[in-house]
Amino acid sequence: MPALNIEFSEEEMAQLRQEAEARAVSLKTLVREAVAGDLAHRRALAEGAEAFRRFVGEHAGAFDEAFPDSVPRRTAGAA
């Protein structure tokens, strides 16, 4: 299995050890879960942003009709 060595300051290591102890897990488990959680969070944010862009694109006309005073002015040549 691939491995990765990561350097931490003494203060960071102390905080990591304290957190691992509080959660009753090893340092390796704590760091692996933190990285996996961050990756999952970023993936969820990207998927949510894409769903939002699709929704806005699909419903832009309805929003423009419902709120005509809020429709941005288009300049000549703009798509």
DSSP 72: P
Q: Does the pLDDT at position 76 exceed 80?
A: no
Residue 67's Cα: distance from chain center in Å? 31
Q: Does the pLDDT at position 78 exceed 80?
A: no
Q: What is the pTM of this model?
A: 0.68
Q: How far apart are CA 63 and CA 73, in angstroms?
A: 14
Q: Does the pLDDT at position 79 exceed 80?
A: no
